[in-house]
Structure 1
Amino acid sequence: MANNITSKITADSDDVVFLMVPFPAQSHLNQLLRLSQLIRSRGFPVHYAASVIHCRQVKLRHDTLLNTSGIIFHELQTPSFTSPPSSFSEKFPDHLWPSFEASWTSHEPVAALLRELSSSTRTRRLVVIHDSLMSCVVQDVASLPNAESYSFNCSSAFFTYCLMSHLSGKPFPAQVDPDAIPTADNCFPPNLDKILGIVIEFNHIRHGKLFSTCRAMDGPYLDMLAETETIEKKKKQWAVAPLFPVITTANEDDKTDHPTLEWLDKHPPKSVIYVSFGSTTTMSREQINELALGLEESKQRFLWVLRDADRGDIFDAETTILQLPEGFEERVKGVGKVTRDWAPQLGILRHPSVGGFMSHCGWNSCLESLTMGVPLATWPMQSDQPYNAILMTHILKVGVQVMGWGERHQLVTSSVIKKSIENLMASSEGHEVRTRAEELGKAIKQSVEDDHIWELNSFLAYAAR
């Protein structure tokens, strides 16, 4: 079988050049960097363009196993922006909006870069892969005769299909309590219309679409998206995930030294629940106390990443230290570990001691967890996360629910948290969920190992034609 990084699809020469233009949020930055590494590993020249701050951020936080050598980073000059702290009273990360707006002003420097790369005598084709939220920035690609652009969607196909269905007045495509159905109105801020306007205005410039998903998880919804609009039938689409190594050797694992992994080494297989809510979530002190009590009372082993949400500029201020109940860490010593550092999530989920993941259901987290065969305890916060949670619990049935979207305004109590942990880690229901997650993980890995199934290979063959 093919190695999960090296493929038969490789560049015969360097006349096909790739340019990546990510959106400035951590999971978006990381996913396009992972794709950059995969494409670079096939021999293609790869350029990655983001602001000075966000180039620095993605290089600082990239996966330990990800080799960024050979990727050419372009630090775009963007206007300065405010970088306020997050607020737990507003679950959508409105505090990041200034950094988003600054990124949308980078049209001119990106246009100059496009002209430079496309005009090189060695460039037969310039392939621009841009985050779907950055189409306005790469709009000049349409004026270059040897360039093609492809949008990159960091969300699940299920979410994209649900959002399109909602906006066109179609029913929600899953059996869910009406009060728990996520909608554009209850998942996004009022300025969603502005975001959609930025996305839709320049949709026509793209030659095709890449989805950060795979058919093993999202197949029916990828097919439905391909059939939604007549104009979209003319656009090719590929599901290219997972974009990270799905199998590592012992030597590679040695490179991922981290205190969290050393702690996991001391515990039995599938005995630890990993708890993390991504880079844009801030919990109130009251909710943190309830979560701590629920973890303690569950009597289950746990690894909890407790961090404040990212600011627009993560280098702008000291990180806020979130407080735990007095004596908590001492009481759970040996059974639970709390880390306030940036943790190697992929390495944690890959670790044999991890048997569950309490998650906000960001799509990157869902992909990583299920590829490693780890079931989820779902606790969505905003944006696409409530949709992803329904995909996990109601459709794929590889997760148990901590909080349904209908209870999003309520404090999640320690008893509810305790029950969900016990359901996932120590019940017959949890065993069935874990079995399905493990089977799905095998199917996802198989799709990467088989050159004829992994759609990334199909895309690269098409782009390099």
Structure 2
Amino acid sequence: MDVWQSNRITTAVEALRRPLKLHFIPFLAAGHMTPLCEMARSFAAYGHHVTIITTALNAISLENDVHLDIAAGHCINIHTLQFPSEEVGLPDGVENLTAVTDNDSLLKVCRAATSLLQKSFEDFVLQNPPDCLVADFMYPWAHDLAARLGIPRLVFNSFCVFSVCVMESIKKNPITGQDPHAFTIPDLPLPITMNIRPPIPFLKAIDKPLELEAKSYGLLVNNFVELDGVFVEHYNKITGHKVWHIGPTALIHRTEEETAKGTHKNEPCMSWLESRKPDSVIYICFGSSGTLPDNQLYEIACAMESCGHSFIWVVPGKDEAEKEEEKERWLPKGFEERMMKEEKGLILRGWAPQVKILGHAAVGGFMTHCGWNSVVESVGAGVPMVTWPLHSDQFYNEKLVTQVQGVGVEVGVEEWGVWVLDERKKTVKRDRIEKAVRRLMDEGEEGEEMRRRARELGEKAREAVKEGGSSHENLKTLIRELQETRDSKLVNAT
């Protein structure tokens, strides 16, 4: 063997020992970015080199966690790109869907993320080639980019596998007509009944991303296999595609102190919860972008006062300093003062520490829009739900919660929005809201059974992320497969 060949073999052996190099590209929306970046941190915790590629303002929201990882000796980096604010006609400071207040701005952020930033993403990846590219499914161009480099592309999908199975079924069995009556989704392992039909623009918007997703090396999901249940096997059967459940991500990097119930007293809402009885409070939140019209907020307020259950209600877009006449557009006169005096309710305007609230022993229910992160956070905390979907996959998620797992009550929404900020034309009336809350929160057999099921799922979620749990083992298996893929390529090159 000559010196040149010996050196090549030595170099190859050394390369086999090196950590994986992975690039993560999250979509510019909190519901996509948070779980994918938590997954990135998990790879870094195993000693692999991770780079998260995003824009400058989005990077700021990640810096605290990344600094903690670096302090712990993990190799993780954030590479920032210039957001094309002027080119899309957005003011400085708007680089995430959470920051927009209208559909026009929403579409501009989407255009910047999926189209105008493409070359910047590609240039960095091509100049700094990784062993694996992990990109949100909203970036279909990542398919060709990974192919050019000859590396695996993992797709992060903000949906659960159950919802993907429903989407695939609807794609193969197109819905015809506009019959508003209930119908059953065909070709699923369990009968799933929908009371409202998905809008055609939504079906068209997800068609191409899902098609390219199926051509990737595999799918990453913020979930644990026990929650998707029989639909994991069904997904493998109908697609033949690899999927790795690596979640709930909200539980992965939490310390025991952070997840312990009733130990968070630094926020006013957590102190308020300390005085409540176990399972007595319903938490109401429709996501960071889930704004409802004033007349709908008014109906929620009336329902909560009538049913008498304690609540914490998160209302984005409202100002503490609003005038009394402005407040009375969405709250009955004197409502907030009465609730505070009677210690029945607390209204939070803007952001709330959702994971902490759901983890408190006093919280016995969650009125939610069924965004996937909120669903999996509620399940992880063992809290049942009142389901109130607004748009996109949320209507499918609702069925997993209520019909498959039996840990929720449907409020009965009759309007399916295409975009998060779509105007709501139909109002859910107070009597329907009150009925759903009472079914969950009153001391009856139905509510208690849902709480029992939710607690069991919560325990399974916590076990999933521990050493030896399903999500923990999925991550280890995936890392091993990626290493084997890279190593076989290096050996063949020698």
TM-score (norm 1): 0.82
Please show how residues 88-99 of structure 1 align to structure 2 within 5 Å: 95-99=105-109
Deviates more, 1:320-329 or 1:390-399: 320-329
Partner of 2:53: 49
Q: Does structure 1 retain, via aligned residues, the 8 Å contact 2:27–2:113?
A: yes
1:76 aligns with 2:86: no
- AA paired with 2:161? A
Partner of 2:487: none
Distance 1:201 1:428, change over 3 A: closer
Q: Does structure 1 retain, via aligned residues, the 8 Å contact 2:296–2:427?
A: yes
Distance 1:158 1:198, change over 3 A: closer
1:345 aligns with 2:345: no
Distance 1:59 1:341, change over 3 A: farther
- AA paired with 2:236? A
1:240 pairs, out of 237, 246, 252, with 246
Please show how residues 268-287 of structure 1 align to structure 2 within 5 Å: 268-287=277-296
Deviates more, 1:265-274 or 1:322-331: 322-331
Shift of 1:161: 0.8
Higher-Rg member (1/2): 2
Shift of 1:27: 0.7
Please show how residues 200-279 of structure 1 align to structure 2 within 5 Å: 200=211, 204=215, 206-229=216-239, 233=240, 235-245=241-251, 248-250=255-257, 257-279=266-288
1:183 aligns with 2:188: no
Q: What are the Cα deviations for residues 282-324 of structure 1, in whole angstroms up to 9, with x where unaligned?
A: 2111001010111111111100110039xxxxxxxxxx99953
Deviates more, 1:275-284 or 1:168-177: 168-177
Alpha-carbon distance in 2 for matches of 1:302, 1:67: 36
Distance 1:177 1:19, change over 3 A: closer
Q: Which has the higher helix share?
A: 2
Deviates more, 1:410-419 or 1:133-142: 133-142
Secondary structure of the 2:138 match is helix
1:193 pairs, out of 189, 199, 204, with 204
Alpha-carbon distance in 1 for matches of 2:213, 2:446: 46
Partner of 1:140: 145
Please show how residues 423-442 of structure 1 align to structure 2 within 5 Å: 423-426=439-442, 427-442=444-459
Shift of 1:330: 0.4
Partner of 1:328: 335
Shift of 1:357: 0.4
Distance 1:350 1:239, change over 3 A: same
Q: Does structure 1 retain, via aligned residues, the 8 Å contact 2:415–2:426?
A: no
RMSD over aligned Cα, in angstroms?
3.2
1:113 aligns with 2:124: yes
Q: Does structure 1 retain, via aligned residues, the 8 Å contact 2:365–2:386?
A: yes
Please show how residues 351-370 of structure 1 align to structure 2 within 5 Å: 351-370=360-379
Shift of 1:410: 3.1
Alpha-carbon distance in 1 for matches of 2:338, 2:25: 47
Q: Percent identity?
A: 28
Distance 1:198 1:430, change over 3 A: closer
Q: Does structure 2 retain, via aligned residues, the 8 Å contact 1:380–1:403?
A: no
1:31 pairs, out of 24, 32, 35, with 35
Q: Does structure 2 retain, via aligned residues, the 8 Å contact 1:135–1:203?
A: no
Q: What are the Cα deviations for residues 339-360 of structure 1, in whole angstroms up to 9, with x where unaligned?
A: 1131111111111111110000
- AA paired with 1:443? K
Size of the aligned set, in residue pairs, is: 421
Higher RCO (CA 8 Å, separation ≥ 6 residues): 1
Distance 1:184 1:164, change over 3 A: farther
Please show how residues 61-72 of structure 1 align to structure 2 within 5 Å: 71-72=76-77
Q: Does structure 2 retain, via aligned residues, the 8 Å contact 1:136–1:201?
A: no
Secondary structure of the 1:112 match is helix
Structure 2: segments with no counterpart, 5+ residues = 1-15, 95-100, 175-183, 319-325, 417-423, 485-494
Q: Does structure 1 retain, via aligned residues, the 8 Å contact 2:142–2:153?
A: no
Alpha-carbon distance in 2 for matches of 1:131, 1:92: 23
Shift of 1:108: 1.4
Partner of 2:460: 443
Structure 1: segments with no counterpart, 5+ residues = 1-11, 86-90, 119-124, 310-319
